[in-house]
Structure 1
Amino acid sequence: MRIGELALATGVNPQTLRFYERRGLLPAAEREVNGYRQYDQAAASQLRFIRGAQALGMTLADIKSILALRQGGMVPCEHVTALLVGKLEDVHSRQRELALLESELQNLIDTSRDLDPADCTAGSVCQIIPHPHP
Protein backbone atom coordinates (compact mmCIF):
# COMPACT_ATOMS: atom_id res chain seq x y z
CA MET A 1 0.00 0.00 0.00
CA ARG A 2 1.11 3.55 -0.63
CA ILE A 3 1.85 6.05 2.11
CA GLY A 4 -1.59 7.66 1.96
CA GLU A 5 -3.30 4.28 2.26
CA LEU A 6 -1.10 3.32 5.20
CA ALA A 7 -1.77 6.67 6.84
CA LEU A 8 -5.51 6.20 6.45
CA ALA A 9 -5.40 2.60 7.67
CA THR A 10 -3.41 3.45 10.82
CA GLY A 11 -4.50 7.00 11.63
CA VAL A 12 -0.94 8.29 11.29
CA ASN A 13 -0.34 11.17 8.91
CA PRO A 14 2.13 10.73 6.02
CA GLN A 15 4.62 13.24 7.49
CA THR A 16 4.77 11.18 10.67
CA LEU A 17 5.33 8.02 8.63
CA ARG A 18 8.26 9.64 6.86
CA PHE A 19 9.61 10.84 10.22
CA TYR A 20 9.37 7.34 11.72
CA GLU A 21 11.15 5.95 8.68
CA ARG A 22 13.97 8.50 9.00
CA ARG A 23 14.29 7.74 12.74
CA GLY A 24 14.49 3.99 12.11
CA LEU A 25 11.16 3.16 13.75
CA LEU A 26 9.86 1.86 10.43
CA PRO A 27 12.00 0.03 7.93
CA ALA A 28 12.67 1.92 4.72
CA ALA A 29 9.75 1.40 2.39
CA GLU A 30 10.16 -0.33 -0.92
CA ARG A 31 9.98 2.10 -3.80
CA GLU A 32 7.85 1.68 -6.89
CA VAL A 33 9.32 2.50 -10.30
CA ASN A 34 7.78 5.97 -10.02
CA GLY A 35 9.47 6.50 -6.62
CA TYR A 36 6.35 6.13 -4.49
CA ARG A 37 6.79 4.37 -1.17
CA GLN A 38 5.18 0.95 -1.00
CA TYR A 39 4.39 -0.50 2.45
CA ASP A 40 3.27 -3.98 3.45
CA GLN A 41 1.08 -5.23 6.29
CA ALA A 42 4.13 -5.58 8.54
CA ALA A 43 4.56 -1.79 8.41
CA ALA A 44 0.91 -1.34 9.40
CA SER A 45 1.36 -3.75 12.30
CA GLN A 46 4.51 -1.97 13.44
CA LEU A 47 2.72 1.39 13.30
CA ARG A 48 -0.09 0.04 15.45
CA PHE A 49 2.52 -1.16 17.94
CA ILE A 50 4.19 2.28 17.94
CA ARG A 51 0.87 4.04 18.55
CA GLY A 52 -0.05 1.61 21.32
CA ALA A 53 3.30 2.11 23.03
CA GLN A 54 2.97 5.90 22.75
CA ALA A 55 -0.49 5.70 24.32
CA LEU A 56 1.20 4.08 27.34
CA GLY A 57 3.59 7.02 27.63
CA MET A 58 6.59 5.44 25.96
CA THR A 59 9.00 7.72 24.17
CA LEU A 60 10.23 7.12 20.65
CA ALA A 61 13.58 6.12 22.17
CA ASP A 62 11.80 3.52 24.34
CA ILE A 63 9.95 2.20 21.31
CA LYS A 64 13.09 2.10 19.20
CA SER A 65 14.86 0.07 21.88
CA ILE A 66 12.00 -2.47 21.91
CA LEU A 67 12.01 -2.72 18.13
CA ALA A 68 15.79 -3.14 18.08
CA LEU A 69 15.57 -6.09 20.47
CA ARG A 70 12.86 -7.71 18.35
CA GLN A 71 14.76 -7.08 15.13
CA GLY A 72 17.84 -8.58 16.79
CA GLY A 73 15.92 -11.80 17.29
CA MET A 74 15.26 -11.32 20.98
CA VAL A 75 11.93 -11.36 22.78
CA PRO A 76 11.64 -7.89 24.38
CA CYS A 77 9.12 -8.77 27.11
CA GLU A 78 11.51 -8.28 30.04
CA HIS A 79 12.68 -4.95 28.63
CA VAL A 80 9.08 -3.85 28.05
CA THR A 81 8.16 -4.80 31.61
CA ALA A 82 11.06 -2.73 32.95
CA LEU A 83 9.92 0.24 30.83
CA LEU A 84 6.34 -0.13 32.06
CA VAL A 85 7.49 -0.29 35.70
CA GLY A 86 9.38 2.97 35.11
CA LYS A 87 6.32 4.57 33.52
CA LEU A 88 4.16 3.48 36.47
CA GLU A 89 6.66 5.01 38.90
CA ASP A 90 6.46 8.23 36.87
CA VAL A 91 2.65 8.16 37.09
CA HIS A 92 2.78 7.69 40.87
CA SER A 93 5.22 10.58 41.18
CA ARG A 94 3.01 12.83 39.06
CA GLN A 95 -0.03 11.80 41.11
CA ARG A 96 1.75 12.87 44.31
CA GLU A 97 2.72 16.18 42.67
CA LEU A 98 -0.83 16.73 41.48
CA ALA A 99 -2.24 15.95 44.94
CA LEU A 100 0.05 18.60 46.43
CA LEU A 101 -0.94 21.07 43.72
CA GLU A 102 -4.62 20.30 44.31
CA SER A 103 -4.22 21.00 48.01
CA GLU A 104 -2.34 24.24 47.36
CA LEU A 105 -4.93 25.42 44.85
CA GLN A 106 -7.79 24.62 47.22
CA ASN A 107 -6.06 26.53 50.03
CA LEU A 108 -5.58 29.55 47.76
CA ILE A 109 -9.22 29.44 46.66
CA ASP A 110 -10.37 29.18 50.26
CA THR A 111 -8.08 32.04 51.31
CA SER A 112 -9.15 34.20 48.36
CA ARG A 113 -12.73 34.21 49.55
CA ASP A 114 -11.68 36.17 52.64
CA LEU A 115 -9.52 38.70 50.81
CA ASP A 116 -10.68 42.20 50.06
CA PRO A 117 -9.84 43.32 46.49
CA ALA A 118 -9.36 46.83 47.89
CA ASP A 119 -6.27 45.53 49.71
CA CYS A 120 -4.50 44.81 46.39
CA THR A 121 -1.78 47.37 45.97
CA ALA A 122 -0.57 48.77 42.69
CA GLY A 123 2.82 47.18 43.42
CA SER A 124 1.48 43.62 43.32
CA VAL A 125 -0.38 41.94 40.52
CA CYS A 126 -2.67 39.82 42.69
CA GLN A 127 -2.60 39.14 46.42
CA ILE A 128 -3.99 35.62 45.97
CA ILE A 129 -0.94 34.22 44.20
CA PRO A 130 2.05 33.86 46.50
CA HIS A 131 5.34 35.46 45.54
CA PRO A 132 8.27 33.06 46.02
CA HIS A 133 11.37 34.55 47.50
CA PRO A 134 14.54 34.38 45.38
Structure 2
Amino acid sequence: MNIGEAAKLCGLPPKTVRYYEEIGLLKPARAANGYRDYRDRDVHVLQFIQRSRSLGFSIDDARRLLSLYDDADRHSKDVKRLAKKRVEEIDRKIDELQSLKQVLSALTERCHGDADPDCAILDELGTLPSARSNEQPAR
Protein backbone atom coordinates (compact mmCIF):
# COMPACT_ATOMS: atom_id res chain seq x y z
CA MET A 1 0.00 0.00 0.00
CA ASN A 2 1.12 3.58 -0.48
CA ILE A 3 1.93 6.08 2.25
CA GLY A 4 -1.51 7.70 2.13
CA GLU A 5 -3.27 4.40 2.73
CA ALA A 6 -0.89 3.39 5.52
CA ALA A 7 -1.20 6.78 7.17
CA LYS A 8 -4.99 6.66 7.02
CA LEU A 9 -5.08 3.22 8.66
CA CYS A 10 -2.94 4.56 11.52
CA GLY A 11 -4.63 7.91 11.90
CA LEU A 12 -1.37 9.72 11.21
CA PRO A 13 -0.51 12.36 8.63
CA PRO A 14 1.76 11.13 5.82
CA LYS A 15 4.34 13.73 6.92
CA THR A 16 4.59 12.00 10.32
CA VAL A 17 4.96 8.60 8.65
CA ARG A 18 7.83 9.99 6.54
CA TYR A 19 9.42 11.44 9.69
CA TYR A 20 9.24 8.08 11.47
CA GLU A 21 10.95 6.52 8.47
CA GLU A 22 13.57 9.29 8.40
CA ILE A 23 14.52 8.69 12.05
CA GLY A 24 14.67 4.92 11.58
CA LEU A 25 11.55 3.78 13.40
CA LEU A 26 10.24 2.22 10.24
CA LYS A 27 11.74 0.93 7.01
CA PRO A 28 9.12 0.18 4.38
CA ALA A 29 10.01 -1.82 1.32
CA ARG A 30 10.49 -0.01 -1.96
CA ALA A 31 8.60 -0.94 -5.09
CA ALA A 32 10.43 -1.26 -8.41
CA ASN A 33 9.52 2.33 -9.18
CA GLY A 34 11.16 3.51 -5.93
CA TYR A 35 7.92 4.31 -4.13
CA ARG A 36 7.43 3.21 -0.55
CA ASP A 37 5.46 -0.01 -0.26
CA TYR A 38 3.90 -0.35 3.17
CA ARG A 39 3.01 -3.81 4.40
CA ASP A 40 0.72 -4.91 7.21
CA ARG A 41 3.73 -5.11 9.54
CA ASP A 42 4.60 -1.46 8.79
CA VAL A 43 1.04 -0.41 9.60
CA HIS A 44 1.23 -2.38 12.85
CA VAL A 45 4.50 -0.63 13.77
CA LEU A 46 2.97 2.76 12.98
CA GLN A 47 -0.06 1.98 15.15
CA PHE A 48 2.24 0.84 17.96
CA ILE A 49 4.22 4.08 17.76
CA GLN A 50 1.06 6.18 17.55
CA ARG A 51 -0.39 4.50 20.67
CA SER A 52 2.92 4.94 22.51
CA ARG A 53 3.05 8.60 21.60
CA SER A 54 -0.60 9.11 22.60
CA LEU A 55 0.39 7.92 26.09
CA GLY A 56 3.05 10.62 26.13
CA PHE A 57 6.10 8.45 25.52
CA SER A 58 8.94 10.27 23.80
CA ILE A 59 10.24 9.17 20.42
CA ASP A 60 13.22 7.55 22.16
CA ASP A 61 10.93 5.73 24.58
CA ALA A 62 8.70 4.60 21.70
CA ARG A 63 11.84 3.30 19.97
CA ARG A 64 12.83 1.37 23.12
CA LEU A 65 9.31 0.00 23.54
CA LEU A 66 9.25 -1.09 19.92
CA SER A 67 12.62 -2.76 20.35
CA LEU A 68 11.36 -4.59 23.43
CA TYR A 69 8.16 -5.54 21.61
CA ASP A 70 10.23 -7.14 18.85
CA ASP A 71 12.57 -8.90 21.32
CA ALA A 72 11.29 -12.38 22.22
CA ASP A 73 13.88 -12.51 25.04
CA ARG A 74 12.77 -9.22 26.60
CA HIS A 75 12.17 -8.81 30.30
CA SER A 76 8.87 -7.29 31.30
CA LYS A 77 10.69 -5.36 34.04
CA ASP A 78 12.32 -3.26 31.32
CA VAL A 79 8.93 -2.35 29.89
CA LYS A 80 7.53 -1.65 33.35
CA ARG A 81 10.49 0.59 34.18
CA LEU A 82 9.75 2.76 31.11
CA ALA A 83 6.05 2.94 31.97
CA LYS A 84 6.74 3.82 35.62
CA LYS A 85 9.11 6.57 34.50
CA ARG A 86 6.34 7.97 32.30
CA VAL A 87 3.85 7.86 35.20
CA GLU A 88 6.35 9.79 37.36
CA GLU A 89 6.70 12.41 34.61
CA ILE A 90 2.92 12.72 34.42
CA ASP A 91 2.72 13.13 38.21
CA ARG A 92 5.36 15.90 38.08
CA LYS A 93 3.43 17.64 35.31
CA ILE A 94 0.18 17.38 37.27
CA ASP A 95 1.89 18.95 40.31
CA GLU A 96 3.25 21.74 38.12
CA LEU A 97 -0.14 22.39 36.55
CA GLN A 98 -1.86 22.42 39.95
CA SER A 99 0.66 24.98 41.16
CA LEU A 100 0.08 27.13 38.08
CA LYS A 101 -3.67 26.85 38.60
CA GLN A 102 -3.36 28.03 42.20
CA VAL A 103 -1.30 31.06 41.22
CA LEU A 104 -3.58 32.00 38.35
CA SER A 105 -6.70 31.46 40.46
CA ALA A 106 -5.30 33.74 43.16
CA LEU A 107 -4.51 36.41 40.58
CA THR A 108 -7.96 36.03 39.06
CA GLU A 109 -9.52 36.58 42.48
CA ARG A 110 -7.48 39.77 42.95
CA CYS A 111 -8.51 41.21 39.59
CA HIS A 112 -11.72 43.22 39.86
CA GLY A 113 -12.80 42.38 36.33
CA ASP A 114 -14.67 45.64 35.92
CA ALA A 115 -14.36 48.75 33.75
CA ASP A 116 -11.34 50.00 35.75
CA PRO A 117 -7.93 49.67 34.07
CA ASP A 118 -6.31 48.24 37.23
CA CYS A 119 -5.71 44.53 36.94
CA ALA A 120 -3.74 42.31 39.34
CA ILE A 121 -3.08 39.80 36.58
CA LEU A 122 -1.39 42.36 34.33
CA ASP A 123 0.44 43.86 37.31
CA GLU A 124 1.90 40.45 38.16
CA LEU A 125 2.85 39.73 34.54
CA GLY A 126 4.55 43.11 34.34
CA THR A 127 6.56 42.66 37.54
CA LEU A 128 10.25 42.06 36.96
CA PRO A 129 11.56 38.70 38.26
CA SER A 130 14.07 40.49 40.56
CA ALA A 131 11.17 42.28 42.27
CA ARG A 132 9.63 38.92 43.10
CA SER A 133 12.83 37.30 44.39
CA ASN A 134 11.86 38.10 47.98
CA GLU A 135 8.46 36.45 47.57
CA GLN A 136 7.74 32.86 48.52
CA PRO A 137 7.54 30.46 45.57
CA ALA A 138 4.04 29.42 44.55
CA ARG A 139 3.01 25.98 45.79
TM-score tier by shorter-chain length is 0.7 to 0.9
Q: What are the superposed Cα offsets for residues 16-40 of structure 1, whole Å, 9 maximum, x if unpaired?
A: 22211121111x2211111111111
Amino acid at match of 1:79: D
What is the match of residue 43 of structure 1?
42
For residues 113 and 44 of structure 2, what CA distance do their matches in structure 1 show? 58
How many residues are paired up? Answer: 129
Taking structure 1 as the reference length, the TM-score comes to: 0.79
Q: Structure 1 residues 107, 34: closer, same or farther in 2, change over 3 A?
A: same
Residue 126 of structure 2 corresponds to residue 127 of structure 1: no
- Which structure 1 residue ranges, 4+ long, deviate > 3 Å from structure 2? 69-74, 114-120
**8 Å CA contact 2:68, 2:79 repeated in 1:** no
For residues 91 and 8 of structure 1, what CA distance do their matches in structure 2 show? 29
Taking structure 2 as the reference length, the TM-score comes to: 0.77
Select between 41-50 and 111-120 the one with higher mean Cα deviation: 111-120
Amino acid at match of 1:127: D
Partner SS state of residue 100, structure 2: helix
Matching of residues 9-28 of structure 1 within 5 Å: 9-26=9-26, 28=27
**Aligned-pair identity (%):** 29
Amino acid at match of 2:17: L
Partner SS state of residue 6, structure 1: helix
RMSD: 2.7
What is the match of residue 6 of structure 1?
6
For residues 112 and 25 of structure 2, what CA distance do their matches in structure 1 show? 53
Q: Structure 1 residues 119, 104: closer, same or farther in 2, change over 3 A?
A: closer
Gaps spanning 5+ residues in structure 2: where?
131-139
For residues 95 and 29 of structure 2, what CA distance do their matches in structure 1 show? 48
Q: What are the superposed Cα offsets for residues 89-110 of structure 1, whole Å, 9 maximum, x if unpaired?
A: 1121122222222221121122
Amino acid at match of 2:94: Q
Q: Structure 1 residues 81, 15: closer, same or farther in 2, change over 3 A?
A: same
Gaps spanning 5+ residues in structure 1: where?
none
